[in-house]
Structure 1
Amino acid sequence: MTDMTNTPGVARKRSTSAATREYYVYFAVIFLATLPLAFLTWTLTALRQLALPSKGPVKSAWSQAQIITPRIFSA
């Protein structure tokens, strides 16, 4: 009997559209989870320094989601 487990072309690859959708779902969940903490951090920084921080809460949460999401997919 022939072993076909490592034959090229036999293994099914994940569809790119499904992987992309899954990435966006994870990104959205992580973005929504980091948004309240980013807003709180932004507010506290603004109150302490009496000036608005250069990076807003949405941009901060967006960048955190951009950092965290690829780490989940690379694991």
Structure 2
Amino acid sequence: MHEAQPHRHRRMPRAEYWVYFSLIFAISLPLALAMWLAGLVGPSRRIGERGVIHHAWSQARIITPQIFSA
């Protein structure tokens, strides 16, 4: 009889992950900039002190793994 194999987490292909991450970051960057500019004239301070690049990077870190887990 064969022993049951322990369940292994499926690893994301590294190159494919970074391609998707880069595309999502590139799309998120102008959107984050627009939100930041809107925050300068409006009452909303959604991006805060961390800045535009940090916000776009965070969005890419959230969205990219969701694409691979679907």
Q: TM-score, normalised by structure 1?
A: 0.68
Residue 46 of structure 1 and its aligned partner are, at CA, apart by 1.9
Question: What is residue 34 of structure 2 aligned with on the other side?
Answer: 40
User: Aligned to 1:29, which of 23, 26, 35?
Assistant: 23
Which AA in structure 1 matches 2:64? Answer: T
What percentage of residue pairs aligned between the two structures are identical?
A: 44
Instruction: Output aligned runs, 1:1-75, within 5 Å.
Output: 19-49=13-43, 53-75=48-70
Q: For structure 1, which segment, 34-43 or 52-61, has the greater mean C-alpha deviation from structure 2 after superposition?
A: 52-61
Number of residue pairs the alignment of both structures matches: 59
Q: Which sections of structure 2, spanning at least 5 residues, go unmatched? A: 6-10
TM-align CA RMSD: 2.4
Residue 48 of structure 1 and its aligned partner are, at CA, apart by 2.1
Q: Which sections of structure 1, spanning at least 5 residues, go unmatched? A: 1-7, 9-15
